[in-house]
Amino acid sequence: MIDPAVTAWLWGSRAPLARGVRAALLPFAVVYDGAMRLRARAYATRVRRTERLPLPAIAVGNLSVGGTGKTPLAAWIAAYALRHGARPAILLRGYGGDETLVHERLTPGVIVVADPDRRAGAARALAAGATVLVLDDAFQRLDVARDVNIAVLSAEGEQAARWPLPAGPWREGWWALIRADLIVVTRKRASAGAAQDLAARLAVACPGTPVAVAHLALGRLTTLRSGRLVASEALVGKRVVAAAGVGDPASFAAQIGALGATVRLEAFPDHHAYGAADVARLVRAAAAADYLMVTEKDAVKLHARWPADAGEPLVGHLEVNWETQGGAVRGALDRVLAGPPPPPPPRTDRP
């Protein structure tokens, strides 16, 4: 995996060298963008086939690479369905090996199926008793139909270059939002004003498509192994090492800082597989600070590897707090969970 510091520099730095590297990558970005547009058009014109899944499906995905908050949003949707009497299944591609464990930890009681073939995964979910599907990281999966298509963009991502991969972080540009039934703008370290500004621009660009804003904030803090709750006030004035192998590690550090801590970031590549040397490095870092805090994504990989004689890290749990248009999101989910409308009654009149 690419080091997050490298991509942050490549896609976000205004330094002349970074600009030069991005310029050198532009021909590849143009080719990539053209290929994605042709692919989308092939599905839109039915040159390539889109197949229905055996259950109602809600898809959540990014336009950019990582770090938008789609995983906590998919977990929130699954938990919402569970509270409303459905039996949701989260379908994953299974990339990196940690996604299944993350969702099992985030949403106990939800069926989690990792399979790059979403049709095969849906069949497994149906056999396990699922009544609705949540497709994580599926905005670009055009080969399977969905009842609600949710595109997630982050306010923090607005600082990155607006170029397609590899010159920028964009899998698809805003042109792809024509496929979205809902757009969700997330923010972690960005201000509420920055998120609202992005939402307003998206509403103009995509008239008729609801645009919601969600603040992803640190909620519960628990210890890694024992699961003991720790009050967030305990971090005020403390030295905290933030360890994060996620798409946007800087946001995790900023969220901890917002709780009043002094933070030092230990960033790892997204989906990082922690080895013995990594664990030893974090144990040393924890010993030199008041607390070591990890993301939920990293906690599932560190849980079994963390030494019993070392102090327990804290795990920061993200909460989805709707700031605008949360009702539109819930309404769309309610319509899917209610199922198709009943057929009209047969006519009894005679000509």
Tokens coding 331: 């309404």
Q: What is the pLDDT of residue 173?
A: 96
Burial code of 128-163, b = ≥16 C-beta within 10 A, e = fewer? Answer: eebbbbbbbbbbbbbebebbbbbbbbbbbbeebbeb
Residue 84 is classified by DSSP as T
Q: What is the pLDDT of residue 348?
A: 64
Over the stretch 94-153, which tens digit does the pLDDT of each residue have? 765 678 888 988 888 999 999 999 999 999 999 999 999 999 999 999 999 999 999 999
Tell me the whole-structure pTM to 2 decimals: 0.92
Q: What is the pLDDT of residue 347?
A: 63
Whole-number Å distance between alpha carbons of 89 and 101: 14
DSSP per-residue letters across 208-223: TS-EEEEEEEEEEEEE
SS3 label, residue 122: helix
Whole-number Å distance between alpha carbons of 209 and 181: 6
Name, in order, each residue with C-beta under 8 angstroms of 314's C-beta and a sequence gap of 6 or more: 221, 222, 223, 224, 230, 291, 292, 293, 294
Tokens coding 193: 């004003």
Contact status, residue 311 vs residue 205, Cβ threshold 8 Å? no
Give bridge partners of residue 239 from the DSSP assignment. Answer: 262
Phi, psi of 30 (to 5 degrees): -65, -45
Environment class of 209 (CB within 10 Å of its CB; exposed 0-12, middle 13-18, buried 19+)? middle
Over the stretch 214-265, which tens digit does the pLDDT of each residue have? 999 999 999 999 999 999 999 999 999 999 998 889 999 999 999 999 999 9
Residue 349 has pLDDT above 70, yes or no: no
Instruction: Characterize the bridge pairing of strands 211-223 and 314-324.
Output: antiparallel
